[in-house]
Amino acid sequence: MSHFTSRIYNFNAGPAMLPTEVMEIAQGEFLNYQGTGMSVMEMSHREKHFQTILDTAVQSLRTLLNIPERFGIVFFPGGATLQFSAIPLNYLQPGEFADFSETGVWAVKAMAEAKKFYPNVQSVYDGKPNAYTEIPDLTEADIHPGAKYLHITSNNTIYGTRYSEFPKLSKTPLVADMTSELLSRSLDLNQFSVIFAGAQKNIGPSGITIVIFDKEKLPEVKHPIPNLMNYALMEKNGSLYNTPPTYSIYIAKLVFDWLIKKGGLSVMEKENEEKAKALYDALDASSLFYAPVPKKHRSVMNVVFKSNEPKLEAEFLKGAEENGLAGLKGYRDVGGFRASIYNAMPKSGIDTLVSYIKHFESSKA
Amino acid sequence: MSHFTSRIYNFNAGPAMLPTEVMEIAQGEFLNYQGTGMSVMEMSHREKHFQTILDTAVQSLRTLLNIPERFGIVFFPGGATLQFSAIPLNYLQPGEFADFSETGVWAVKAMAEAKKFYPNVQSVYDGKPNAYTEIPDLTEADIHPGAKYLHITSNNTIYGTRYSEFPKLSKTPLVADMTSELLSRSLDLNQFSVIFAGAQKNIGPSGITIVIFDKEKLPEVKHPIPNLMNYALMEKNGSLYNTPPTYSIYIAKLVFDWLIKKGGLSVMEKENEEKAKALYDALDASSLFYAPVPKKHRSVMNVVFKSNEPKLEAEFLKGAEENGLAGLKGYRDVGGFRASIYNAMPKSGIDTLVSYIKHFESSKA
């Protein structure tokens, strides 16, 4: 039974912990937003208060990520899964193809979805033989001639890997699914044609996806695209082609405000690296637990770890739950444990987890 | 400037007013859901607490609408617009077509979207010459031979019309966009093959759409369908093919609980009819205002009205806003006024609006 009287450390992979400061603001104005007499959830999307929220969200995101003007920013409904269909439909003409770097389930799923419409899609890397614990070092030489773009998953939530450096492509456009790491580090947008991220990790509630794309590199395709997948149409309408998930955009806006107040992404990046280092250091020093991912490929957002004695796993998880450390169970295909430590996870959460790991280990010595 | 210290009567067409009781429950457990130490917004969609919310929502909806077991119930991301693409893609083979009853902008948009993929779609009714103030009386004889289904918009938010009786079709499947009226009245699901509704009127936050479809009548199509539009796939996965808009489903679940507590849809239907009657009666008795829709076609959810003296419109709206009656401006293509009086609008809101109308009128006499 659940019994916590206050908020706990939530290591869920997504939907995930959101900043308590943000949640308190949202709670405070839940019934009556800034004297309007209604919740943001009850407000017309065509009305000035919501338009201000949306405009501020877009502008803050542009500032935070230093997004050049030639990039459009759109809040799409649905998760990254909708983009797995939308990107090929927007970027490939019939008979064309793209390359995919298969660093995990999400890249594999994205490739399978594209293949339904474009049977010639190709793989440039298959991480399955290494149980997806490594990230390839890709360059233009790895791209199949004629590929219209390369699709990567920049951070692999399930396996705890990430591209520390992105593929350096001299001509092929790069498309990056950044669902589990967008806003956790600074980026040079000039390296990408499209980046996208489902919101439920570092941004806000599940059910919206942020798409940032270079408008100059969007081709004109002749085939029909469903309206809610059409990049040009959605961008032209400023995310308001139809009624968007307004409340989710509002929470995202509050998260962006919070990030700006914290000092932006360079501050966040440093904090995230320190948090991840503290946890990986503890695991590397442990004789009971270990991180299976080689150091250079380790994610800063999702720390996957295992025990040398799998029979202790259930006890470890039960004790963690009782101590207010939730969501540490590993993904079903991987087993073991996973601590997702997104922006909202405070350093104190890492410290508490590290203490618990050490305490558990010494109790078994 | 906004200045309300408590909640007001919100006549927005959608996103729209939600029951204050529901909003208070959500606010109370916003930071810590039932002792879990986290918000529903921060909870894994694969975790037992959210699964219970989802299962309860589906079961409550089945109870409320008396939905036969052969119908699947799916929470889709996006609005009705996504279904405008999804329905033809799921129900039509290449070269086939469907019929559309054009009673307003949404039916016209749905037809245009279907036409992109299926150029042979047909119209059985065009309400444009009558400014969409009427609803046709359709039977099987109106259907074009070979049409695979008839698409209707059961309630037309913009024009304030509705099908009091649904088309009586002896063999052609009926597909109904019920976005602005689902849960406002009892239905006999046996009349339909598919009903769907964006949530932002009677159900909850924008960004989810409920689709209820007869699984026995879903054809097997050979062409690829984007995964997030695939009815069979989404139903088989119980709305969890990918991460759904979890918080929106939670609010919907609370709204369903509220409806059940109120006595269900027959009670709600009676209340809605009384609310609409009180407002239409006041308009019909007025010499300054009038409802342009003929009585038999009037919506119970969206009451459109106009003034004989259009120059007074701005003053009427300004006074309404100041008195805590928000969202009464008519849709841009229609002008005048519109009071959207969904389930969450209490009778006291209607009474206050009627008093204001009478007061305004007498002040001009």
Element (H, E) at B40: none
Chain Cα centroid distance, residue B192? 16
Q: How far apart are CA B290 and CA B199, in angstroms?
A: 30
* Chain B CA closest to residue A114: B226
Residue B133 shares a structural domain with residue B212: yes
In sequence order, the 6+-apart residues with CB closer than 8 A to the CB of A14 are: A157, A179, A180, A198, A200, A201, A206, A340, A342, B44, B243
Residues 76-135 of A with CB under 8 A from B: 77-82, 84-86, 89, 113, 116-117
Q: Do A31 and B224 touch (CB under 8 A)?
A: no
Residues B251-310: pLDDT tens digits?
999 999 999 999 999 999 999 999 999 999 999 999 999 999 999 999 999 999 999 999
Active site residue A201: yes
Task: For residues A209-231, give the mean pLDDT.
Answer: 97
- Our CA-based measurement puts residue A38 at a distance from the nearest CA of chain B, in whole angstroms, of 6
Per the domain annotation, does A105 fall within a domain? yes
Residue B37 shares a structural domain with residue B156: yes
Count of domains for chain B: 2
CA distances for B349 relative to B229, B267, B313, angstroms = 38, 18, 20
Which of A229, A262, A295 lies at the terminal end of a domain, its last residue? A262
Q: What is the DSSP string of B44-103?
A: -TTSHHHHHHHHHHHHHHHHHHT--TTEEEEEEES-HHHHHHHHHHHH--TT---EEEE-
Whether the per-residue pLDDT at B1 is higher than 60: the answer is no
pLDDT of residue B208: 97
Residue B240 shares a structural domain with residue B303: no
Residue B42 shares a structural domain with residue B136: yes
Name the band, by pLDDT with cuts 50, 70 and 90, for residue B2: low
Per the domain annotation, does A9 fall within a domain? no
Q: Which of chain B's residues have a Cβ under 8 Å away from the Cβ of A31?
A: 7, 20, 23-24, 27
Which of B232, B262, B292 lies at the terminal end of a domain, its last residue? B262
Q: Which of chain B's residues have a Cβ under 8 Å away from the Cβ of A200?
A: 243, 246
Name the residue facing B37 among A7, A82, A113 (closest C-beta).
A7
Residue B65 shares a structural domain with residue B191: yes
Per the domain annotation, does A11 fall within a domain? no
Q: Among residues A192, A227, A231, A191, which one has the least CA distance to residue A88?
A: A231
Q: How many CA atoms lie within 13 A of A108 on its CB side?
A: 9
B258 annotated as belonging to a binding site for a ligand: no
Name the band, by pLDDT with cuts 50, 70 and 90, for residue B73: very high
Interface probe, candidates B34, B109, B227, B329, chain A, greatest A C-beta count within 10 A: B227
Residue B278 shares a structural domain with residue B239: no
Name the residue facing A242 among B27, B81, B326 (closest C-beta).
B81
- Our CA-based measurement puts residue A223 at a distance from the nearest CA of chain B, in whole angstroms, of 9
Per the domain annotation, does A16 fall within a domain? no
CA distances for A61 relative to A65, A185, A238, B135, angstroms = 6, 13, 14, 45
Which of A227, A262, A297 lies at the terminal end of a domain, its last residue? A262
Q: Which of chain B's residues have a Cβ under 8 Å away from the Cβ of A251?
A: 41
Q: Is there a contact between B289 and B357 (Cβ–Cβ < 8 Å)?
A: yes
Residue B232 shares a structural domain with residue B288: no
A63 annotated as belonging to a binding site for a ligand: no
Mean pLDDT of chain B: 97
Q: Is there a contact between A133 and A297 (Cβ–Cβ < 8 Å)?
A: yes
Q: Report, as residue numbers or ranges, the catalytic residues of B.
A: 106, 177, 201
B243 annotated as belonging to a binding site for a ligand: yes
Q: Is there a contact between A72 and A235 (Cβ–Cβ < 8 Å)?
A: yes
Q: Which of chain A's residues have a Cβ under 8 Å away from the Cβ of B3?
A: 35
The pair of three-digit structure tokens given for residue B96, joined into one six-digit string: 């086939």
The pair of three-digit structure tokens given for residue B3, joined into one six-digit string: 């200045």
Residue B230 shares a structural domain with residue B274: no
The parent domain of residue A286 ranges over 265-364
Residue A177 shares a structural domain with residue A107: yes
Whether the per-residue pLDDT at A89 is higher than 60: the answer is yes
Residues A270-322: pLDDT tens digits?
999 999 999 999 999 999 999 999 999 999 999 999 999 999 999 999 999 99
Q: Do A12 and B44 touch (CB under 8 A)?
A: yes
Choice among A99, A148, A201, A329 that is catalytic: A201
CA distances for A359 relative to A234, A288, A319, A355, B170, angstroms = 52, 11, 11, 6, 71
Interface probe, candidates A5, A18, A39, chain B, greatest B C-beta count within 10 A: A39
Residues B246-266: pLDDT tens digits?
999 999 999 999 999 999 999
Element (H, E) at A274: helix A265-284
Residues A319-329: pLDDT tens digits?
999 999 999 99
Secondary structure of residue A243 in the 3-state scheme: coil
Mean pLDDT of chain A: 97
| CB under 8 A, 24+ apart: contacts of A44-50 | A44/B12, A44/B13, A44/B14, A44/B15, A44/B327, A45/A240, A45/A243, A45/A244, A45/A246, A45/B15, A45/B206, A46/A240, A47/B12, A47/B327, A49/B2, A50/A246, A50/A250
Q: Do A117 and B224 touch (CB under 8 A)?
A: yes
Name the band, by pLDDT with cuts 50, 70 and 90, for residue B333: confident
More confident residue, A2 or B64: B64
Per the domain annotation, does B198 fall within a domain? yes
Per the domain annotation, does B10 fall within a domain? no
Name the band, by pLDDT with cuts 50, 70 and 90, for residue A333: confident
Name the band, by pLDDT with cuts 50, 70 and 90, for residue B3: confident
Q: Do A31 and B242 touch (CB under 8 A)?
A: no
A222 at interface of B, judged by CB pairs closer than 8 A: no
* Chain A CA closest to residue B106: A242
The percent of residues in chain A predicted with pLDDT above 90, rounded, is: 98
Q: What is the CATH number of the domain that holds B276?
A: 3.90.1150.10
Q: How far apart are CA B7 and CA B172, in angstroms?
A: 46
Interface probe, candidates B33, B83, B206, chain A, greatest A C-beta count within 10 A: B206
Q: Is there a contact between A18 and A202 (Cβ–Cβ < 8 Å)?
A: no
Per the domain annotation, does A17 fall within a domain? no
- Our CA-based measurement puts residue A231 at a distance from the nearest CA of chain B, in whole angstroms, of 14
Q: Which residues of A34-49 are buried (b: 16+ CB within 10 A; e: fewer)?
A: eebbbbbbbbbbebeb
Residues B126-173: pLDDT tens digits?
999 999 999 999 999 999 999 999 999 999 999 999 999 999 999 999
Q: Among residues A96, A201, A191, which one has the least CA distance to residue A157?
A: A201
The dihedral built from the CA positions of residue B7, B11, B13 and B18, taken in this order, carries a sign that is positive
Which residues are paired to B339 by β-bridges?
Answer: B303
Residues A134-167: pLDDT tens digits?
999 999 999 999 999 999 999 999 999 999 999 9
Name the band, by pLDDT with cuts 50, 70 and 90, for residue B239: very high
Task: For residues B4-25, give the mean pLDDT.
Answer: 97
Residue A38 shares a structural domain with residue A74: yes
Q: What is the CATH number of the domain that holds A89?
A: 3.40.640.10
Whether the per-residue pLDDT at A24 is higher than 60: the answer is yes
pLDDT of residue B185: 98
Q: Which of chain B's residues have a Cβ under 8 Å away from the Cβ of A113?
A: 226-227
Q: Is there a contact between B121 and B99 (Cβ–Cβ < 8 Å)?
A: yes
Residue A100 shares a structural domain with residue A194: yes
CA distances for B49 relative to A102, A160, A187, B196, angstroms = 32, 25, 36, 26
Name the band, by pLDDT with cuts 50, 70 and 90, for residue A332: confident
B324 at interface of A, judged by CB pairs closer than 8 A: yes
Per the domain annotation, does A50 fall within a domain? yes
Name the residue facing B245 among A8, A81, A205 (closest C-beta).
A205
Residues B183-231: pLDDT tens digits?
999 999 999 999 999 999 999 999 999 999 999 999 999 999 999 999 9
Residue B284 shares a structural domain with residue B246: no
Q: Do A45 and B15 touch (CB under 8 A)?
A: yes
Secondary structure of residue B193 in the 3-state scheme: coil
Q: Which of chain A's residues have a Cβ under 8 Å away from the Cβ of B17?
A: 38, 42
Interface probe, candidates B111, B177, B223, B242, chain A, greatest A C-beta count within 10 A: B242
ipTM: 0.97
